[in-house]
Amino acid sequence: MYHKPSPPSINDGGYVDYTTIIRKYGKIESSFNRGDFILNTQAPTLFISYSHDSKEHKEWVKKLAYDLRVTGGVDALLDQWSVRLGGNLNEFMKNGLNDAKMVLCICTEEYVEKANKNIGGVGIEATIISNEISKGNKEHIIPIIRNNPNAKTPESLEGLLYEDFNDGVNRDNFKKLLGRIWSEDLKKLPPVGKNPFSMENFNEINYSVHLDQINYSNPEFEGKADFNYSHNDGKYKIGTGEYAFTTRWTKSGRTNIHAYKDSTNIERIGSFRNKITDFPQKDQLSTDDVDYTSRVRNPYLADYTVWMNKAGKFAVTKVVEINDADKKGDHNNLVFEYKIYDN
């Protein structure tokens, strides 16, 4: 029976612990033919489709599969591991494509040519994949580009968004690939709000207040907030989905301001034990470097504050400007820069 699984478990530090997930749940039974795949806490099964262009390319593919399994917690299916001497390669390809939740197509120039001309094992895999696409199951297929400067994909994969690995594997493209496999990218989808014209007790005042929310939010993962903290209960929302943080601020002084963890989606708020001068790396957000024991922080200009939300995600804000109506200017205004840490 297939059902919507819950997202990966999160340890006390807020990081997805893939090793624990796999140790606890092991592999999953799955079907490539199902159209209802959503992230499971168990290891997603990924069939790797590629061409044997050269010894170097086979080694590159094998290393990528190794990293996906060991570092990414993905049950990567690769012929170099699964087809033993005397084994049936064609049977492995057909069974692997049927059993896998997803297919990773490594699109080199040679792979594209073989897929388009139905040559060899790639041709067999391309036929199966093409049949799945014709059934509307293209959400399971992830193309990446390597040794392919013109970024061509097989005709059956035309129009599918791909990731570029022409310059090798790096932290950014590997993280993006993992996020797609584990459906981490779906957690960034903002929720759909209520129809403002059908709100209970609708009137012009409620409608105007509702629309004013656009002045107190920014969905980007890095950016700047510039707002009057005397309004909207001092709240400003950054990010979206599981990566949303509703920060809250009140007046303190000319060069400092109060920051609170009182919003419903905030679990902890912290300040750095030692002065920092730039946005930190994610591994600097542990309790060794940050104090999370208070509900209120009092950052000064150029100070950094750490926010952890209920989903275990992290954001850091830096106070850039404070305009105190009692001291200068005509309203209480706060400007802060921020960064949300993607897994």
User: Does residue 118 sit within a domain?
Assistant: yes
Which is more confidently placed, 127 or 327?
A: 127
Q: Closest Cα to residue 309, out of 272, 270, 257? A: 270
Same domain, 23 and 166: yes
In a domain, 6, yes or no: no
| pLDDT in the model for residue 188 | 85
Report the CATH number that the domain containing residue 31 is assigned in CATH: 3.40.50.10140
C-alpha distance from residue 246 to each of 73, 112, 256, 279 (Å): 31, 47, 19, 19
H/E run at residue 211? helix 204-211
Mean pLDDT of 45-54: 94
Has residue 111 got a pLDDT over 90?
Answer: yes
The answer to the question of residue 27 being in a domain is yes
Number of domains into which the chain is organized:
2
Q: Between 193 and 147, name the one with better pLDDT.
A: 147
Is residue 33 predicted with pLDDT exceeding 50? no
Model confidence at 26, pLDDT cuts 50, 70, 90, reads very low
- Condensed to tens digits (0 to 9), the pLDDT of residues 262-300 reads 999 999 999 999 999 999 999 999 888 999 999 999 999
284 & 217 share domain:
yes
Residue 320: which residues within 8 A CB-CB, separation 6 or more?
A: 224, 301, 302, 335, 336, 337
Judge if 175 and 268 occupy the same domain: no
Residues 156 and 260 reside in one and the same domain: no
DSSP class of residue 257 equals: E
52: domain range?
18-188
Whether residue 91 is found in the same domain as residue 167 = yes
Pair (66, 160) in one structural domain: yes
**156 plus 93 within the same structural domain:** yes
Confidence of residue 31 (pLDDT cuts 50, 70, 90): very low
Residue 280 lies in a domain: yes
**Statement to judge: residues 296 and 239 lie in one domain:** yes
SS3 14: coil
pLDDT band at 28 (very low <50, low <70, confident <90, very high): very low
Assess if residue 5 is contained within a domain. no
Return the H-helix or E-strand segment holding 48. Answer: strand 45-49
Is 136 a member of any domain?
yes
Using 50, 70 and 90 to split pLDDT, how confident is the model at 208? low
The reply to whether 106 and 22 lie within a common domain is: yes
Q: Does one domain contain both 148 and 33?
A: yes
Residue 287: the pLDDT is: 85
User: For residue 217, what pLDDT band results from cuts at 50, 70 and 90?
Assistant: very high
CA 201 to chain centre: 38
Going by DSSP bridges, is the β-strand pair 217-218/235-238 parallel, antiparallel, or unpaired? parallel
The phi-psi region of residue 73 (left if phi > 0; otherwise alpha if psi is between -120 and 50; otherwise beta) is left
Instruction: For residues 238 and 339, give the distance between their C-alpha atoms in angstroms, rounded to a whole number.
Output: 9
Q: Are 302 and 319 in contact (CB under 8 A)?
A: yes
Query: Is position 250 within any domain?
Result: yes
Of 41-50, 178-187, 208-217, 298-307, which range is least confident?
A: 208-217
